Amino acid sequence: MDSLDTQVLDAARTWAAAGHRFALITVARTWGSAPRPPGAWMILRDDGQVLGSVSGGCIEDDLIRRAAAGEFAGSAPRLLRYGVTADEAHRFGLPCGGTLELVLEPAPDAALLEQLAQRIGTGQLVHRRLVLATGAVSLEGGSAGDSQQWDGQTLVTLHGPTWRLLIIGAGQISRYLATMAQALGYRVYICDPRSEYADGWDVPGIERIAAMPDDAVTELALDPRSAVVALTHDPKLDDLALLEALKSPAFYVGALGSQANNSKRRERLLQYFDLSQAEVDRLHGPVGLPIGSRTPPEIAVSILAEMTAVKNGQNVRSTVGVPDSFACRVA
């Protein structure tokens, strides 16, 4: 779940405990350009209060109006479509002829939402299955690589732990990467056993782990929604993190450095550590997309761009990394 959908789940539990009625609305399918992806959540309370988003504006306003008019009374889930015609797409602010298919649940089971939150809290990936005809909802175990399913009758959404990012090294690039990652909804951790770097770390909202990099990776118990980026440019530290991270289910593992340095790193990992060729092949190094980045903020942008592409199922692999002349100067 992204950070906004996590907030929706938390608010739904709070509202249910306070005795409020609310509807849960899920983006089931999109065509063309759409502001929110399939699986995005919104909740609409009986007094008109809204949290979350399915479009970012006009559709939410229409849902509030229809709810106030009593259109969503009852408990049976239903299918809603917006942007079917060009005029409707224009009226609701959907770009490029976009169309949204929404599933609305007027009275979601609060106990099942509580169970969902508890399972997510223990690090599980969970499928939430809704049968539209009957309104029956069930929770099932999910796994890495699963995605949302919708056939017009049954909606299966994937829910799981918050996206997490462990950064090894508290240098210049890490400051920009940590801040930008937070804006994308990541829970960010920093690990650097070098006191001259760690003691000066003052980026708010970042959790520091006082351990060696390999122990930090183990401590976090990485899951398929975790990423690790090694930025110290010191093999004694970066390799410690990589040898554990590459064996984990983390969706992204990257390391700073030039093509030549990363080739040597792969040789070390294969020769001296208990890693298979397939595990070493998971390494994104040079880290980040080849966008000609040279400054710390540009490098952070390239890293997050590649992480986002991998997270969204795009098959990308860097072919050009940080220039040797720059990478060797930055810790």
Say whether 31 sits in a helix, a strand or coil: strand
Strands 207-208 and 187-191 turn out to be parallel
pLDDT, tens digit, 9 for 90 and up, residues 219-259: 998 988 899 999 998 989 999 999 999 999 999 999 999 99
Is 325 a residue whose pLDDT tops 50? no
Is 85 a residue whose pLDDT tops 90? no
Q: How far is Cα of residue 89 from the mean position of the Cα atoms in its chain? A: 28
Say whether 94 sits in a helix, a strand or coil: coil
Residues 6+ apart with CB under 8 A from 142: 124, 125, 126, 127, 158, 159, 160
* Mean pLDDT, the chain, whole residue set: 87
Do the Cβ atoms of 189 and 209 come closer than 8 Å? yes
Which tokens in the block code for residue 215? 């122990």
Say whether 71 sits in a helix, a strand or coil: coil
For 49-58, give one letter per residue: b (16+ CB within 10 A) or e.
Answer: ebbbbbbeee
pLDDT, tens digit, 9 for 90 and up, residues 38-59: 888 999 999 999 999 888 677 8
Q: Domains in the chain, start-ordered, CATH in brackets?
A: 3-159 (no CATH), 164-327 (3.40.50.720)
Say whether 24 sits in a helix, a strand or coil: strand
Do the Cβ atoms of 283 and 254 come closer than 8 Å? yes
pLDDT, tens digit, 9 for 90 and up, residues 59-76: 888 899 999 999 998 889
